Amino acid sequence: MTQPQTIVDKIWEQHVVHAEQGKPDLLYIDLHLVHEVTSPQAFDGLRMTNRSVRRPDLTLATVDHNVPTTDRTLPNPDPLSTQQIEVLRTNCKDFDIPLWDIFDLRQGIVHIISPEHGLTQPGMTIVCGDSHTSTHGAFGALAFGIGTSEVEHVLATQTLPQSRPKTMSVEVTGELGVGVTAKDVILAIIQRTGVDGGVGHVIEYRGDVIRKLSMEERMTVCNMTIEGGARAGLIAPDEKTFEYLLGKEFSPSGLDWDQQVENWGKLVSDKGAVFDQSIVLDGNNIAPHVTWGTTPAQSVPVSDVVPNPDDATTASSRETAQRALKYMGLEAGTAITDIGIDRVFIGSCTNGRIEDLRRAATIIEGQKVSSSVSAMIVPGSGKVKQQAEEEGLDLIFKDAGFEWREPGCSMCLGMNPDILLPQERCASTSNRNFEGRQGAGGRTHLVSPEMAAAAAIAGNFVDVREII
Protein backbone atom coordinates (compact mmCIF):
# COMPACT_ATOMS: atom_id res chain seq x y z
CA MET A 1 0.00 0.00 0.00
CA THR A 2 1.24 3.47 -0.80
CA GLN A 3 2.11 5.97 1.90
CA PRO A 4 -0.84 8.27 2.80
CA GLN A 5 -0.25 11.68 1.26
CA THR A 6 -1.29 15.23 2.08
CA ILE A 7 -2.95 17.34 -0.60
CA VAL A 8 0.31 19.31 -0.82
CA ASP A 9 2.26 16.11 -1.60
CA LYS A 10 -0.20 15.26 -4.35
CA ILE A 11 -0.11 18.64 -6.06
CA TRP A 12 3.65 18.80 -5.67
CA GLU A 13 4.26 15.46 -7.30
CA GLN A 14 2.00 16.28 -10.22
CA HIS A 15 4.17 19.31 -11.00
CA VAL A 16 7.74 18.07 -10.64
CA VAL A 17 9.48 18.59 -13.97
CA HIS A 18 12.87 17.52 -12.74
CA ALA A 19 14.17 16.16 -9.44
CA GLU A 20 17.77 15.64 -8.50
CA GLN A 21 19.38 14.66 -5.23
CA GLY A 22 20.71 17.68 -3.35
CA LYS A 23 18.83 20.19 -5.46
CA PRO A 24 15.40 21.78 -5.14
CA ASP A 25 12.69 20.22 -7.29
CA LEU A 26 11.87 22.04 -10.49
CA LEU A 27 8.11 22.73 -10.37
CA TYR A 28 5.92 23.54 -13.33
CA ILE A 29 3.77 26.67 -12.86
CA ASP A 30 0.22 26.49 -14.26
CA LEU A 31 -0.61 30.17 -13.90
CA HIS A 32 1.52 33.27 -13.45
CA LEU A 33 -0.24 36.48 -12.45
CA VAL A 34 1.60 39.72 -13.09
CA HIS A 35 1.05 43.29 -11.89
CA GLU A 36 2.78 46.62 -12.40
CA VAL A 37 4.85 46.86 -9.21
CA THR A 38 6.96 43.71 -8.98
CA SER A 39 7.47 43.02 -12.69
CA PRO A 40 9.35 45.89 -14.42
CA GLN A 41 12.81 44.71 -13.35
CA ALA A 42 11.93 41.11 -14.32
CA PHE A 43 11.08 42.15 -17.89
CA ASP A 44 14.28 44.22 -17.97
CA GLY A 45 16.15 41.08 -16.98
CA LEU A 46 14.62 39.19 -19.89
CA ARG A 47 15.66 41.92 -22.32
CA MET A 48 19.21 42.04 -20.97
CA THR A 49 19.64 38.30 -21.41
CA ASN A 50 17.73 38.16 -24.66
CA ARG A 51 15.17 35.73 -23.26
CA SER A 52 11.47 35.55 -24.10
CA VAL A 53 8.36 34.69 -22.11
CA ARG A 54 7.96 30.94 -22.44
CA ARG A 55 4.20 30.71 -21.92
CA PRO A 56 2.33 34.00 -22.32
CA ASP A 57 -0.76 31.79 -22.56
CA LEU A 58 -0.30 30.79 -18.91
CA THR A 59 0.27 34.38 -17.85
CA LEU A 60 -2.18 37.18 -17.08
CA ALA A 61 -1.42 40.78 -16.16
CA THR A 62 -3.47 43.53 -14.59
CA VAL A 63 -2.93 46.89 -12.93
CA ASP A 64 -4.03 47.08 -9.32
CA HIS A 65 -1.43 48.27 -6.80
CA ASN A 66 -1.04 51.90 -7.71
CA VAL A 67 -4.07 52.77 -9.86
CA PRO A 68 -6.18 55.67 -8.64
CA THR A 69 -9.64 54.71 -7.36
CA THR A 70 -11.13 58.06 -8.34
CA ASP A 71 -12.38 59.03 -11.82
CA ARG A 72 -9.96 57.39 -14.21
CA THR A 73 -10.88 59.44 -17.20
CA LEU A 74 -8.93 62.23 -15.48
CA PRO A 75 -5.14 62.25 -15.80
CA ASN A 76 -3.26 60.26 -13.14
CA PRO A 77 -1.69 62.92 -10.92
CA ASP A 78 1.25 60.71 -9.99
CA PRO A 79 3.93 60.62 -12.72
CA LEU A 80 5.76 57.62 -11.20
CA SER A 81 2.58 55.52 -11.05
CA THR A 82 1.73 56.57 -14.59
CA GLN A 83 5.16 55.49 -15.74
CA GLN A 84 4.93 52.13 -13.97
CA ILE A 85 1.55 51.41 -15.53
CA GLU A 86 2.83 52.46 -18.96
CA VAL A 87 5.85 50.19 -18.54
CA LEU A 88 3.56 47.22 -17.83
CA ARG A 89 1.55 48.02 -20.96
CA THR A 90 4.71 48.09 -23.03
CA ASN A 91 6.00 44.87 -21.48
CA CYS A 92 2.71 43.03 -22.07
CA LYS A 93 2.66 44.23 -25.67
CA ASP A 94 6.30 43.33 -26.30
CA PHE A 95 6.01 39.88 -24.74
CA ASP A 96 2.46 39.13 -25.90
CA ILE A 97 0.93 38.83 -22.41
CA PRO A 98 -2.81 39.46 -21.99
CA LEU A 99 -3.45 42.55 -19.87
CA TRP A 100 -6.69 43.46 -18.15
CA ASP A 101 -6.12 47.17 -18.23
CA ILE A 102 -7.73 50.05 -16.43
CA PHE A 103 -10.80 50.43 -18.64
CA ASP A 104 -11.41 46.68 -18.91
CA LEU A 105 -14.35 45.57 -16.78
CA ARG A 106 -12.24 42.58 -15.70
CA GLN A 107 -9.51 44.78 -14.16
CA GLY A 108 -9.12 44.48 -10.41
CA ILE A 109 -6.97 43.14 -7.62
CA VAL A 110 -5.00 40.28 -9.09
CA HIS A 111 -6.16 37.79 -6.42
CA ILE A 112 -9.79 38.67 -6.96
CA ILE A 113 -9.96 38.64 -10.74
CA SER A 114 -8.37 35.25 -11.31
CA PRO A 115 -10.84 33.28 -9.15
CA GLU A 116 -13.88 35.23 -10.28
CA HIS A 117 -13.24 34.31 -13.92
CA GLY A 118 -12.46 30.69 -13.13
CA LEU A 119 -8.73 30.87 -13.88
CA THR A 120 -7.93 29.62 -10.39
CA GLN A 121 -8.74 25.90 -10.24
CA PRO A 122 -8.01 23.01 -7.87
CA GLY A 123 -4.66 21.28 -8.09
CA MET A 124 -2.94 24.09 -9.98
CA THR A 125 0.34 25.75 -9.11
CA ILE A 126 -0.12 29.53 -9.14
CA VAL A 127 2.44 32.23 -8.46
CA CYS A 128 2.51 36.01 -8.48
CA GLY A 129 4.96 38.66 -7.33
CA ASP A 130 2.72 39.35 -4.36
CA SER A 131 2.65 37.66 -0.98
CA HIS A 132 -1.15 37.38 -0.91
CA THR A 133 -1.08 34.86 -3.74
CA SER A 134 -1.92 32.37 -0.98
CA THR A 135 -5.54 33.51 -1.57
CA HIS A 136 -5.89 31.03 -4.45
CA GLY A 137 -5.31 28.16 -2.01
CA ALA A 138 -9.03 28.42 -1.21
CA PHE A 139 -9.60 26.31 -4.35
CA GLY A 140 -7.12 23.61 -3.39
CA ALA A 141 -4.39 25.17 -5.51
CA LEU A 142 -0.77 25.45 -4.38
CA ALA A 143 -0.31 29.20 -4.65
CA PHE A 144 2.41 31.39 -3.24
CA GLY A 145 4.05 34.78 -3.54
CA ILE A 146 7.43 35.24 -5.18
CA GLY A 147 10.02 37.98 -5.56
CA THR A 148 10.98 39.75 -8.75
CA SER A 149 13.93 37.42 -9.51
CA GLU A 150 11.49 34.53 -9.39
CA VAL A 151 8.99 36.45 -11.53
CA GLU A 152 11.71 36.65 -14.18
CA HIS A 153 12.45 32.96 -13.70
CA VAL A 154 8.82 31.97 -14.26
CA LEU A 155 8.47 34.29 -17.25
CA ALA A 156 11.53 32.71 -18.84
CA THR A 157 10.94 29.06 -17.97
CA GLN A 158 7.36 28.60 -16.63
CA THR A 159 8.99 26.73 -13.75
CA LEU A 160 10.47 27.46 -10.34
CA PRO A 161 13.10 25.56 -8.37
CA GLN A 162 11.51 24.93 -4.98
CA SER A 163 12.50 22.99 -1.90
CA ARG A 164 9.71 20.87 -0.56
CA PRO A 165 7.95 22.73 2.26
CA LYS A 166 6.89 21.27 5.58
CA THR A 167 3.16 20.85 6.12
CA MET A 168 0.94 22.15 8.88
CA SER A 169 -2.65 21.19 9.62
CA VAL A 170 -4.83 23.95 11.05
CA GLU A 171 -8.18 22.50 12.05
CA VAL A 172 -11.04 24.75 13.14
CA THR A 173 -13.75 22.70 14.80
CA GLY A 174 -17.31 23.47 15.88
CA GLU A 175 -19.40 26.30 14.56
CA LEU A 176 -18.98 30.06 14.32
CA GLY A 177 -21.34 32.28 16.27
CA VAL A 178 -23.51 34.94 14.66
CA GLY A 179 -21.41 37.96 13.62
CA VAL A 180 -18.19 35.94 13.59
CA THR A 181 -16.55 35.79 10.16
CA ALA A 182 -13.75 34.20 8.17
CA LYS A 183 -11.65 37.28 8.97
CA ASP A 184 -12.03 36.59 12.67
CA VAL A 185 -11.08 32.95 12.11
CA ILE A 186 -7.80 33.84 10.42
CA LEU A 187 -7.01 36.60 12.94
CA ALA A 188 -7.61 34.09 15.74
CA ILE A 189 -5.36 31.54 14.01
CA ILE A 190 -2.54 34.07 13.61
CA GLN A 191 -2.96 35.24 17.19
CA ARG A 192 -2.40 31.61 18.18
CA THR A 193 0.51 30.76 15.83
CA GLY A 194 2.22 34.15 15.94
CA VAL A 195 3.47 35.91 12.84
CA ASP A 196 6.21 33.34 12.29
CA GLY A 197 4.48 30.12 13.36
CA GLY A 198 4.02 29.05 9.75
CA VAL A 199 7.52 29.82 8.43
CA GLY A 200 8.74 27.03 6.15
CA HIS A 201 5.30 25.42 5.98
CA VAL A 202 2.30 25.11 3.71
CA ILE A 203 -0.89 25.13 5.76
CA GLU A 204 -3.93 22.99 5.08
CA TYR A 205 -7.02 24.50 6.72
CA ARG A 206 -9.48 21.81 7.80
CA GLY A 207 -12.41 21.14 10.08
CA ASP A 208 -16.13 21.82 10.22
CA VAL A 209 -15.81 25.59 10.35
CA ILE A 210 -13.65 25.67 7.21
CA ARG A 211 -16.01 23.29 5.36
CA LYS A 212 -18.98 25.52 6.11
CA LEU A 213 -17.28 28.66 4.78
CA SER A 214 -18.28 29.90 1.33
CA MET A 215 -15.60 30.06 -1.37
CA GLU A 216 -15.22 33.80 -0.82
CA GLU A 217 -14.81 33.30 2.92
CA ARG A 218 -12.23 30.59 2.27
CA MET A 219 -10.31 33.09 0.16
CA THR A 220 -10.25 35.48 3.13
CA VAL A 221 -8.73 32.77 5.32
CA CYS A 222 -6.13 31.62 2.77
CA ASN A 223 -5.31 35.22 1.85
CA MET A 224 -3.83 36.01 5.26
CA THR A 225 -1.80 32.80 5.50
CA ILE A 226 1.39 34.76 4.86
CA GLU A 227 0.66 36.93 7.92
CA GLY A 228 1.27 33.82 10.00
CA GLY A 229 4.55 33.21 8.18
CA ALA A 230 3.47 30.41 5.82
CA ARG A 231 3.94 31.09 2.15
CA ALA A 232 0.91 29.07 1.08
CA GLY A 233 -2.30 27.83 2.66
CA LEU A 234 -4.96 25.73 1.04
CA ILE A 235 -8.30 24.03 1.49
CA ALA A 236 -9.19 20.73 -0.16
CA PRO A 237 -11.76 21.28 -2.94
CA ASP A 238 -15.32 20.08 -2.40
CA GLU A 239 -18.82 20.53 -3.82
CA LYS A 240 -18.74 24.23 -2.95
CA THR A 241 -15.59 24.65 -4.98
CA PHE A 242 -17.08 22.86 -7.99
CA GLU A 243 -20.31 24.80 -7.73
CA TYR A 244 -18.38 28.09 -7.67
CA LEU A 245 -16.38 27.14 -10.75
CA LEU A 246 -19.21 25.71 -12.83
CA GLY A 247 -19.86 27.86 -15.88
CA LYS A 248 -17.05 30.35 -15.24
CA GLU A 249 -15.29 31.77 -18.30
CA PHE A 250 -12.10 29.73 -17.90
CA SER A 251 -13.60 26.63 -16.27
CA PRO A 252 -13.65 23.42 -18.27
CA SER A 253 -17.00 22.51 -19.79
CA GLY A 254 -18.87 19.44 -21.05
CA LEU A 255 -16.99 16.16 -20.75
CA ASP A 256 -13.82 17.99 -19.70
CA TRP A 257 -15.73 19.35 -16.72
CA ASP A 258 -16.84 15.89 -15.61
CA GLN A 259 -13.32 14.55 -15.94
CA GLN A 260 -11.82 17.45 -14.00
CA VAL A 261 -14.38 17.20 -11.19
CA GLU A 262 -13.37 13.58 -10.82
CA ASN A 263 -9.69 14.52 -10.72
CA TRP A 264 -10.28 17.39 -8.31
CA GLY A 265 -12.20 15.08 -5.98
CA LYS A 266 -8.97 13.16 -5.36
CA LEU A 267 -7.24 16.26 -4.06
CA VAL A 268 -7.69 15.56 -0.37
CA SER A 269 -5.20 14.59 2.30
CA ASP A 270 -5.37 10.82 2.74
CA LYS A 271 -6.49 9.38 6.02
CA GLY A 272 -3.38 8.94 8.13
CA ALA A 273 -1.35 11.50 6.17
CA VAL A 274 1.30 12.99 8.44
CA PHE A 275 1.74 16.73 8.92
CA ASP A 276 4.88 18.24 10.38
CA GLN A 277 2.77 20.38 12.71
CA SER A 278 -0.90 20.36 13.72
CA ILE A 279 -3.02 22.79 15.66
CA VAL A 280 -6.71 22.74 16.51
CA LEU A 281 -8.90 25.75 17.28
CA ASP A 282 -12.40 25.63 18.68
CA GLY A 283 -14.55 27.74 16.36
CA ASN A 284 -17.22 28.11 19.02
CA ASN A 285 -14.81 30.25 21.04
CA ILE A 286 -13.84 32.65 18.25
CA ALA A 287 -15.17 36.20 18.71
CA PRO A 288 -14.96 39.17 16.35
CA HIS A 289 -11.33 40.25 16.50
CA VAL A 290 -9.67 43.66 16.39
CA THR A 291 -5.92 44.16 16.08
CA TRP A 292 -4.46 46.60 18.60
CA GLY A 293 -0.79 46.52 17.52
CA THR A 294 1.45 46.59 14.49
CA THR A 295 1.51 42.91 13.56
CA PRO A 296 -1.51 40.84 12.51
CA ALA A 297 -0.91 38.55 15.49
CA GLN A 298 -1.58 41.39 17.92
CA SER A 299 -5.36 41.08 18.12
CA VAL A 300 -7.99 40.56 20.80
CA PRO A 301 -11.73 39.85 20.85
CA VAL A 302 -13.71 43.09 20.51
CA SER A 303 -15.13 42.59 24.01
CA ASP A 304 -11.60 42.66 25.46
CA VAL A 305 -9.17 45.44 26.37
CA VAL A 306 -5.81 46.52 24.94
CA PRO A 307 -3.39 44.07 26.59
CA ASN A 308 -0.68 45.09 29.02
CA PRO A 309 2.84 44.57 27.61
CA ASP A 310 3.95 43.60 31.10
CA ASP A 311 1.90 40.42 30.72
CA ALA A 312 4.04 39.27 27.80
CA THR A 313 5.99 36.11 28.48
CA THR A 314 9.33 37.15 26.96
CA ALA A 315 11.39 40.33 27.11
CA SER A 316 11.36 40.54 23.34
CA SER A 317 7.56 40.30 23.03
CA ARG A 318 7.16 42.83 25.84
CA GLU A 319 9.37 45.28 24.00
CA THR A 320 7.56 44.65 20.73
CA ALA A 321 4.19 45.25 22.43
CA GLN A 322 5.43 48.46 24.05
CA ARG A 323 6.67 49.79 20.73
CA ALA A 324 3.37 48.82 19.11
CA LEU A 325 1.27 50.62 21.74
CA LYS A 326 3.39 53.73 21.44
CA TYR A 327 3.04 53.74 17.65
CA MET A 328 -0.70 53.07 17.89
CA GLY A 329 -1.22 55.77 20.54
CA LEU A 330 -3.03 53.34 22.85
CA GLU A 331 -2.98 52.74 26.59
CA ALA A 332 -2.99 49.23 28.01
CA GLY A 333 -6.34 48.40 29.60
CA THR A 334 -8.44 50.56 27.24
CA ALA A 335 -11.62 48.77 26.20
CA ILE A 336 -11.50 48.07 22.45
CA THR A 337 -15.01 49.51 22.15
CA ASP A 338 -13.73 52.80 23.62
CA ILE A 339 -11.30 53.30 20.75
CA GLY A 340 -12.55 56.04 18.43
CA ILE A 341 -11.69 55.96 14.73
CA ASP A 342 -11.18 58.56 11.98
CA ARG A 343 -11.27 56.46 8.83
CA VAL A 344 -12.84 53.26 7.53
CA PHE A 345 -11.54 51.25 4.58
CA ILE A 346 -13.57 48.36 3.21
CA GLY A 347 -11.83 46.54 0.37
CA SER A 348 -8.55 44.71 -0.49
CA CYS A 349 -7.76 41.17 -1.64
CA THR A 350 -8.74 40.04 1.86
CA ASN A 351 -12.23 41.52 1.98
CA GLY A 352 -13.06 43.25 -1.31
CA ARG A 353 -15.35 40.60 -2.82
CA ILE A 354 -19.09 40.82 -3.42
CA GLU A 355 -20.05 38.84 -0.30
CA ASP A 356 -17.95 41.21 1.82
CA LEU A 357 -19.81 44.18 0.38
CA ARG A 358 -23.19 42.50 0.85
CA ARG A 359 -22.44 41.81 4.50
CA ALA A 360 -21.19 45.34 5.09
CA ALA A 361 -24.37 46.63 3.44
CA THR A 362 -26.60 44.73 5.87
CA ILE A 363 -25.02 46.71 8.72
CA ILE A 364 -24.99 50.03 6.88
CA GLU A 365 -28.45 50.03 5.30
CA GLY A 366 -30.52 52.96 6.58
CA GLN A 367 -27.68 54.25 8.80
CA LYS A 368 -25.31 57.22 8.53
CA VAL A 369 -21.54 57.29 8.81
CA SER A 370 -20.52 59.07 12.02
CA SER A 371 -19.71 62.75 11.48
CA SER A 372 -16.22 62.13 12.85
CA VAL A 373 -15.43 59.40 10.33
CA SER A 374 -14.40 59.43 6.68
CA ALA A 375 -15.27 56.09 5.09
CA MET A 376 -14.64 54.50 1.73
CA ILE A 377 -15.50 51.30 -0.07
CA VAL A 378 -13.21 50.05 -2.80
CA PRO A 379 -14.57 47.04 -4.70
CA GLY A 380 -11.94 44.40 -5.44
CA SER A 381 -12.62 44.32 -9.18
CA GLY A 382 -14.65 45.84 -11.97
CA LYS A 383 -16.90 42.82 -11.83
CA VAL A 384 -17.48 43.15 -8.10
CA LYS A 385 -18.29 46.84 -8.62
CA GLN A 386 -20.73 46.07 -11.42
CA GLN A 387 -22.44 43.33 -9.41
CA ALA A 388 -22.75 45.58 -6.34
CA GLU A 389 -24.29 48.32 -8.46
CA GLU A 390 -26.76 45.86 -9.97
CA GLU A 391 -27.81 44.92 -6.47
CA GLY A 392 -28.07 48.56 -5.39
CA LEU A 393 -25.39 48.20 -2.74
CA ASP A 394 -23.61 51.31 -4.00
CA LEU A 395 -26.70 53.37 -3.18
CA ILE A 396 -26.85 51.96 0.35
CA PHE A 397 -23.21 52.92 0.86
CA LYS A 398 -23.47 56.34 -0.75
CA ASP A 399 -26.68 57.20 1.11
CA ALA A 400 -24.90 56.39 4.36
CA GLY A 401 -22.01 58.70 3.47
CA PHE A 402 -19.43 56.21 2.19
CA GLU A 403 -17.30 57.03 -0.82
CA TRP A 404 -17.80 54.47 -3.61
CA ARG A 405 -14.59 54.02 -5.56
CA GLU A 406 -13.04 52.32 -8.59
CA PRO A 407 -11.38 48.90 -8.07
CA GLY A 408 -7.79 48.39 -6.91
CA CYS A 409 -5.56 47.71 -3.91
CA SER A 410 -6.09 51.26 -2.71
CA MET A 411 -5.58 51.96 0.98
CA CYS A 412 -4.51 48.43 1.84
CA LEU A 413 -1.00 49.57 1.03
CA GLY A 414 -1.45 53.16 -0.02
CA MET A 415 0.58 53.16 -3.21
CA ASN A 416 -2.03 55.40 -4.78
CA PRO A 417 -3.39 58.63 -3.26
CA ASP A 418 -5.61 56.66 -0.80
CA ILE A 419 -3.56 56.99 2.37
CA LEU A 420 -3.95 57.74 6.05
CA LEU A 421 -2.52 60.96 7.44
CA PRO A 422 -0.10 60.67 10.37
CA GLN A 423 -1.91 59.46 13.51
CA GLU A 424 -5.21 58.92 11.73
CA ARG A 425 -6.85 55.79 13.09
CA CYS A 426 -8.48 53.41 10.63
CA ALA A 427 -10.78 50.41 10.91
CA SER A 428 -9.61 48.45 7.89
CA THR A 429 -10.68 45.19 6.28
CA SER A 430 -7.19 44.74 4.81
CA ASN A 431 -4.45 42.36 5.90
CA ARG A 432 -1.53 44.32 7.38
CA ASN A 433 -1.38 46.68 10.32
CA PHE A 434 2.36 47.27 9.97
CA GLU A 435 3.73 50.69 10.90
CA GLY A 436 3.04 53.11 8.07
CA ARG A 437 1.39 50.48 5.91
CA GLN A 438 -1.63 52.64 5.06
CA GLY A 439 0.35 55.88 5.18
CA ALA A 440 3.31 57.10 7.25
CA GLY A 441 2.25 57.41 10.89
CA GLY A 442 -1.22 55.98 10.18
CA ARG A 443 -2.77 53.58 12.70
CA THR A 444 -4.48 50.50 11.32
CA HIS A 445 -6.88 48.16 13.11
CA LEU A 446 -7.70 45.04 11.12
CA VAL A 447 -11.32 43.88 11.31
CA SER A 448 -14.03 42.12 9.32
CA PRO A 449 -16.27 44.06 6.89
CA GLU A 450 -19.14 43.88 9.38
CA MET A 451 -16.97 45.27 12.18
CA ALA A 452 -15.62 48.02 9.89
CA ALA A 453 -19.14 48.97 8.82
CA ALA A 454 -20.39 49.10 12.40
CA ALA A 455 -17.37 51.20 13.44
CA ALA A 456 -18.03 53.65 10.60
CA ILE A 457 -21.52 54.30 11.94
CA ALA A 458 -20.65 54.47 15.63
CA GLY A 459 -17.32 56.29 15.30
CA ASN A 460 -15.72 53.67 17.53
CA PHE A 461 -15.45 49.89 17.58
CA VAL A 462 -18.63 48.06 18.48
CA ASP A 463 -19.33 44.40 19.02
CA VAL A 464 -21.33 43.47 15.91
CA ARG A 465 -22.86 40.58 17.81
CA GLU A 466 -24.86 43.16 19.77
CA ILE A 467 -26.37 44.85 16.74
CA ILE A 468 -27.30 41.96 14.45
Residues 357-386 that bind another protein (CB under 8 A): 382
Pick one of 47, 212, 243, 259: the residue that binds another protein (CB under 8 A).
259
Between 351 and 438, name the residue whose CB sits nearer to another protein.
Answer: 438
User: What's the N-to-C CA distance of the chain in angstroms?
Assistant: 52
Pick one of 11, 53, 63, 99: the residue that binds another protein (CB under 8 A).
99
Q: Which of residues 110-139 bind another protein (CB under 8 A)?
A: 118-119, 121, 124, 129-131
Between 314 and 371, name the residue whose CB sits nearer to another protein.
Answer: 314
Name the DSSP class of 19: -
Q: Which of residues 57-76 bind another protein (CB under 8 A)?
A: 57-60, 65-66
Position 396 contacts another protein (CB under 8 A): no
Position 78 contacts another protein (CB under 8 A): yes
Position 146 contacts another protein (CB under 8 A): yes
Q: Which of residues 186-205 bind another protein (CB under 8 A)?
A: 195-196, 199-200
Between 3 and 163, name the residue whose CB sits nearer to another protein.
Answer: 163
Q: What are residue 428's phi and psi, to 5 degrees? A: -130, 140
| Spacing of C-alpha 160 from chain mean position | 22
Radius of gyration over every alpha carbon of the chain, rounded to an integer in angstroms: 22
Between 196 and 239, name the residue whose CB sits nearer to another protein.
Answer: 196
Q: Would you list the DSSP string of 192-252?
A: HH-TTTTTTEEEEEESHHHHHS-HHHHHHHHHGGGGGT-SEEE----HHHHHHHTT-TTS-
**Do residues 304 and 298 make contact, with C-beta atoms less than 8 angstroms apart?**
no
Between 261 and 274, name the residue whose CB sits nearer to another protein.
Answer: 261
**What is the Cα–Cα distance from 208 to 168, expressed in whole angstroms?**
17
Pick one of 7, 30, 167, 357: the residue that binds another protein (CB under 8 A).
30
Stretch that binds another protein, among 92-100, 276-284, 354-362, 452-460 (CB under 8 A): 92-100
Stretch that binds another protein, among 210-218, 265-273, 313-321, 455-463 (CB under 8 A): 313-321
CB atoms within 10 A of CB 392: 11
Pick one of 365, 436, 465, 467: the residue that binds another protein (CB under 8 A).
436
The closest of 326, 348, 330 to 418, measured between CA atoms, is 348
Position 38 contacts another protein (CB under 8 A): yes
Between 145 and 288, name the residue whose CB sits nearer to another protein.
Answer: 145
Q: What is the dihedral of CA 293, 298, 302, 303, to 10 degrees?
A: -110
**What is the Cα–Cα distance from 394 to 402, expressed in whole angstroms?**
9
